[in-house]
Amino acid sequence: MVQVKPDTTTVLVIGGGPGGSYAATLLQREGHQVVLMEAATFPRYHIGESMLPSLRDYLRFIDLEDEVAKHGFCVKPGATFKLSRDVRESYTDFSLAGPNCTAWNVIRSEMDDLLLRNARKHGVQVFEETRVTDIDFGGDPESSRPVAAHWSNKAGASGSIKFDWLIDASGRAGIMSTKYLRNRVMRESLRNVAVWGYWTGVRGIGDGTERAGSPWFEALTDEQGWAWAIPLHDGTTSVGVVMHSDASKAKKDILTPEGQKPTLTEHYLDQLKFLPGVRALIGDTGKFIPGSTKSASDYSYFATRYSGDHFRIIGDAGNFVDPFFSSGVHIAMVGAISAALTICASLNGETEEKLAQEWHDAKVGIAHTRFLFVVLGAYQQMHIQTAPILGELDEENFDRAFDMFRPVIFGIADTSAKLTSDKVQNMMNVFEQLFDPRTHEDDIAEARRRYGAELVSMDAPILGKDAIDNLTKDDEVTKRVFEKMDALKGVASEYRVTDMESQPIVGYVARMQRGRLGLELAPSKVG
C-alpha cells in the first residue's frame, strides 16, 4: 500500500537512525503528530556494533527492552582493554554500575530496524526511501525558524511538508549544520580513519566464563592506533582498526613486494602484525570473509550549537566523538530525549523557547564532552595523542562538563572558570584511570575488604583527589581503585534516564514522566 505523505505535521524528524527513531517515539507518545523521513530502506547496514550499558535503561523507557533482549543479540557483560603492550589486559565489568547493566553487541541493521519499527508501532508516520533535500526558513537560516522541507523519493516523486518543529537526525550529512548553519567544527587530533572486516571462527574473550561476549580493544604495537574485535550473534566477529588519517595514508603508500600500492584489504590484513591479541583470538580457526572489508573516515567534530528557533539537532548530525568506547548510539539517544523534553517544555509553555534551546545545547554538549575525554584518556594511555586538543574544544560545554568533575580533579579547591591546558590535561588524566591496566578485579575485591563495600561502590559519592589521597595514604593499589571508580561514576551518571531529573542545567531539570515530558525548575538547595 502506498503511503500518502501529509502536507503538514507538528514535528518533522529527518533520519530514522537511533536518535531520530527514539525522539519520534517519545514525541508521538506525548500526543504530538510526528512524521519521520528516512533516505534509506531499513534494515540497512551500519557500523557501530558495541553498545554501552545505558542502552537497557533507554530502551526500557520506550517499552523496547524486552523485545531487544529476546532478539538474540550477543550479550556484552563488559569490555576488555589491552592498551599497553607490557602490561596485561584490563577488564571493565558493567555489573559495577549495578544489576542488569549488561549491554549487547548488535548487528546495527537489525537493531536500528527494531527502533524504527517501534516508532511506527507508537504511531509515527515513517517514510523510508524519502530524502529531505532542502529546508525553507522564515528568513535567514542563521536566525529564523525552519518552516517546511522539500523531499524526493526513490520512485521519483517529490514534494514538500510544512511543520511546527524540526529534529535533524540526518547522521553525518547533518543538513542543518553543514548546509544552513555551517557551524560544524572538525578536530584535527581525532581525524581518524577506520578499516574493518568480518571473520568466522574467531575465539571469544572469556568463552565459557562470565566474561563471554565482551569485546576486545587493543592498541597497535607501533602506537599508531587501536583495534576492536566484537563478537556478533550471527557467529561472525567484527574486527576493525582505527588510526589517524596521516598514519593510515603513510601505511597505504608503502609499496608491496610487487611494487604496487596495497589494496584496502591488503592494508587491513597487514595491520594484524601490530595486533598480537587479535591474532591470538583469530588463531588457526579464524577465517576472513572475502569482500567484507569496509572503510570510513571517522573524523571527530562538534557544532557551535545544536538548536535554534523551533529546531533541534541530535546524534551524528550534530557531533561525533570517536569510535572508541562506543558512545555514538548513547549520545544520539541523550540528544533524542533532550530534543523531546525541550520541545514539550516549549510547546506547553513551561519555559521560553530560548531557554529550552539553551538546555538542549548544554545537555548534548555535556554528553559529547564527557565521552570526548574518555576517548582522550584512552588515547593518552595508548600514547597516540597526535596533536594538542586545547584549541579544538567547545569552551562553553567544556566548562560545564568540567564543573561536574571539579571534585574529582581538584577536590573543592579550584574555582577558576578559565579554560587552561592544565584543566584539559587533568580531565584527560582522570579518564585515563578508566583504562588503568594495573587495576584488576582482585584489587577491587581487596579494597572492598579493607575499606568496606559501601565505600567501594558505584552508589558511593565521588570521592575526589583530595579525599582519596587522605584515605589511602601510601596504599597506591587502592588509590588506583578509587580513582578508577571515580572516573566510572562520572560516566555512569549518563547511564540512567531518570538521572536527568536530578542534574540541573540552566536552572531546570528534566521531568521524565510519560505523558508529562518536559522541564521544571530545579529544587532550591537548602543550607
Render pLDDT for 147-180 as a digit per residue (tens, 0 to 9): 999 999 999 999 999 999 999 999 999 999 999 9
Q: How far apart are CA 296 and CA 313, in angstroms?
A: 22
- Per-residue confidence at 386, pLDDT binned at 50, 70, 90? low
What is the reported pLDDT for 498? Answer: 84
* β pairing state of 184-200 and 236-244: antiparallel
What are the DSSP E strand ranges found in 169-284?
184-200, 216-219, 225-231, 236-244
Cβ within 8 Å of residue 70, ≥6 positions away: none
Tell me whether the omega of the peptide bond preceding residue 43 falls within 30 degrees of 0, making it cis. Answer: yes
What pLDDT, on a 0 to 100 scale, did the predictor assign at position 86? 80
How high does pLDDT run on average in the chain? 91
Which pLDDT band, with edges at 50, 70 and 90, does 408 fall under? low
Q: Check residue 205 and give its pLDDT.
A: 87
Q: How far is Cα 51 from Cα 379, in angstroms, rounded to an integer? A: 20
Locate 379 and state its grid cell.
588515547
Q: Which helix (H) or strand (E) is 387 found in, with range?
A: none
Tell me: the pLDDT tens digits for 57-75? 999 999 999 999 999 999 9
CATH of domain 1-49+107-186+301-386: 3.50.50.60
d(CA 304, CA 184): 7
CATH number assigned to the domain with residue range 50-106+192-297, chosen from the 4 options 2.40.110.10, 3.30.9.100, 3.40.50.1370, 3.30.300.130 = 3.30.9.100
Over residues 101-138, the pLDDT tens digits come to 789 999 999 999 999 999 999 999 999 999 999 999 99
- Which cell numbers hold the place of 165? 518543529
Each domain of the chain, given as residue ranges in start order, spans: 1-49+107-186+301-386, 50-106+192-297
pLDDT at 407: 59
Give me the mean pLDDT over the 230-254 stretch: 96
